Amino acid sequence: MVTTNVENGAPIREAVGRYAATLKPDEKRNQQQELNRFVREFEGYQTVDLTAQIVEKYQEDFERTGADSRRLEPIKLFLAFAHKQGMTDINYGKFIRIKRSAGRGRGAGGKREQEQVEMPTGEMLPPRASSGSRRSSTT
């Protein structure tokens, strides 16, 4: 496989294809949807055309749809791959911030805090019931 140096770059479609070729079949299947979305968004771009501002705007636009930022993990991994392969001057993946899910935080005493979730319609969902997978604390 020939890697392209930064001065020449590579078309985004080609670079994503190279990245996808390195994935195991189940990884590829799990990442394909978001990688395809990224390719469609940047169809006419070369990897050298990417900037931190472009990547950050992509994330902002993505999150504005209400989608979970964890779905951007494949893009973050692809951008790290592109840098390691010499297709970008820096790792633009570091500009993608994956936010933790709301249920992971712990309040005082290590207990989960219950929170209501507001739906786009404005209605409130009740707090989720505990999953029973919490470790019991010995006090």
Q: Where do the domains of the chain lie, and which CATH numbers do they carry?
A: 12-95 (1.10.150)
Give, rounded to a whole angstrom, the gap between the first and last alpha carbons of the chain: 59
Q: What is the DSSP string of 96-129?
A: --PPPPGGG-B-GGGPBPP--EE-TTS-EEPPPP
pTM exceeds 0.85: no
Instruction: Quote the pLDDT of residue 75.
Output: 97
Q: Is 50 exceeded by the pLDDT of residue 12?
A: yes
Q: How far apart are CA 127 and CA 117, in angstroms?
A: 7
Q: Are 35 and 74 in contact (CB under 8 A)?
A: yes
Counting residues of the chain whose pLDDT is more than 90, the rounded percentage is 62
Q: Is 80 exceeded by the pLDDT of residue 79?
A: yes
- Running DSSP on this structure, what letter comes out for residue 89? S
Average pLDDT, the chain: 81
